[in-house]
Structure 1
Amino acid sequence: MSEMQDYKSSLEDPNSRKFGTFSYLTAMDAERVRKQVEYIVSKGWNPAVEHTEPENAFDHYWYMWKLPMFGETNVETILAEVEACHKAHPNNHVRLVGYDNYAQSRGAEMVVYRGKPV
C-alpha cells in the first residue's frame, strides 16, 4: 500500500489553499473543463458561475455572476459565461457550480480560474 501524501496548506499562504476535490489534482486545461461542463449538462444540473477575491474565499459567500443558467444545455454558452466572469474579475477566483434540483444541493463545483492574491 502506498503512503498517503500530505498536501501542505495554510491560512497564511493563499496559494496553498485547496477548493474542493479538483484542487488536489493538477490544474485542468480547457478540454478537461469542457468535459466537466458536459458532465454537468448530462446530469441535468443547472450551471451557475460564482467569483470572489482570493482573500475572501474561505470566510465569505461567493458572489454570483448573473443568475444561475436554469435549463442551459449549450456547453459553449456556459463556457462563455465562465470566461466573461473571469474577464470582468481577472483577480478573483471563478468557480462553476452544477446545482442538482432533485437533491437540492451542489452536484459539482470546481474552481476554473484562480485569482492572484493581493
Structure 2
Amino acid sequence: MSGMQDYKSSLSDTGSRKFETFSYLPPMTDEQIRQQIQYIVSKGWNPGIEHTEPENAFGHYWYMWKLPMFGETNVDAILDEVESCRKAHPNNHIRLLGFDNYAQSAGAAMVIHRGKPV
C-alpha cells in the first residue's frame, strides 16, 4: 500500500484546519490568487469575498464583505477589495467565492488568506 500522508488537523489548533481542496496545498502566491480570480471572471461568475475569525471558521456563517461584485470583470478591482477586507480584518480568514448565476450556487470557493488567532 502506498504511504498516505496524514494531515493532522484539530479544533484546538486553528492553523491546522482544512477548509477545502486548496487548503491541502501550500498557500497560494499572489499570482496564483490572481489566476483564480481570472478563472472566476472568465467563467462569468460573480466574485464574492467572505471573512471570519479563525476560531469560528467551522461553527459559524462567514461574514460577507460587502455584496458580491455582480458583473465585475476587472481582476485588479477584485484584488483591491480582497486587500481592503484583509486590512479591515487582519486576523480573519478570507475566502474568495465565484457565484454561478446559472447553477445558483458557488462554482468556486477557496480560502486565500489565513488569519492568526488573537
After TM superposition, the score normalised by the length of structure 2 is 0.96
Residue by residue, what CA displacement relative to the aligned partner does 1:2-52 show, whole Å, maximum 9, x if unpaired?
432221111111111011111100110100000000000000000000000
After TM superposition, which residue ranges in structure 1, 4 or more long, deviate above 2 angstroms?
A: 1-4
Q: Which runs of 5+ in 2 are unaligned?
A: none
Q: Which residue of 1 aligns with 2:61?
A: 61
Aligned residue type for 2:113: Y
1:89 and 2:92 correspond: no
Residue correspondence of structure 1 range 9-48 to structure 2 within 5 A: 9-48=9-48
Q: Output the CA distance in 1 between the equivalents of 2:4 and 2:73.
A: 39
Q: Which residue of 2 aligns with 1:107?
A: 107
Q: Output the CA distance in 1 between the equivalents of 2:54 and 2:33.
A: 20
Q: Which residue of 2 aligns with 1:76?
A: 76
Aligned residue type for 1:20: E
Aligned residues: 118
Give the secondary structure class of the aligned counterpart of 2:50: strand
Q: Output the CA distance in 2 between the equivalents of 1:3 and 1:43.
A: 37
Question: What is the identity percentage for the equivalent residue pairs of Structure 1 and Structure 2?
Answer: 75
Deviation at 1:108, TM superposition (A): 0.6
Aligned residue type for 1:63: Y
CA RMSD of aligned residues (A): 1.0
Q: Which residue of 2 aligns with 1:50?
A: 50
Aligned residue type for 1:66: K
Q: Output the CA distance in 2 between the equivalents of 1:69 and 1:3.
A: 43
Aligned residue type for 2:53: E
Give the secondary structure class of the aligned counterpart of 1:81: helix
Give the secondary structure class of the aligned counterpart of 1:73: coil
Q: Output the CA distance in 2 between the equivalents of 1:30 and 1:17.
A: 21
After TM superposition, the score normalised by the length of structure 1 is 0.96
